[in-house]
Structure 1
Amino acid sequence: MAQPSIRVVRDLHGDAVLGVQGEVDVANAPALRAAIVRAVDGRPARVVIDLGAVSFMDSSALGVLISGYKYAKGAGVPVVLGSPGPGVYRLLRTSGLVEIFEIIDPPDPSTEIRG
């Protein structure tokens, strides 16, 4: 499996923004974990994980998001999720992560995948 593309930038507000593209699964979730840890260790105002270009996530990716959240919380750095597509948002909702994370720019409910 190919590694997901993860780009980390600092924005004007001091946030570390992780732009994630492609699939995040058991084979490449460690790359996301490492990027979250590096971002948190840089002590940004917050870490924004932009999921807008993520086409697929599995349970290992959810585990990475949870462990990253816990790591960041211990460091006093908030983590938010941004722009999840309908399929990714459905996974976040089903797993209960929408109750834990602040979600920036969630999908329009009318575009959500049902089933």
Structure 2
Amino acid sequence: MHSERLDQSERHISEVVDSQSTMSSGQAKVSKERVALHVKVDDLEARSHRNNLRAVDAAESTALDNMEGDREIRAWCESGAARKSTQHGRWPVPVVAPAGGPQRDCGDGEASP
């Protein structure tokens, strides 16, 4: 009976050691997966940051283009190049803008590029 209890204890110890070994290898695997996941997250964050920078650059470029276009329109309106007299003394809308630009109202009934 004592021998049988000793065998059971040894088996139990062996099972505990095996389960701890399995847990250790499982923890190592989980740790590797966590590292890989962190690398993927870092990569995605870096990509997102680069895409955000590109979007900001594009928005700034568009804003600068719009500002330049507004300056051209203002100069064109102020130059009187779009003025065409009518019998009522107002300028017709739309006036064909030079270089086929977009039509905008100069605020006085005059169209601009």
TM-score normalised over the length of structure 1: 0.26
Give the TM-score, by structure 2 length. 0.27
Q: Which has the higher strand share?
A: 1
User: Which structure: larger Rg?
Assistant: 2
Higher RCO (C-alpha under 8 Å, 6+ residues apart): 1
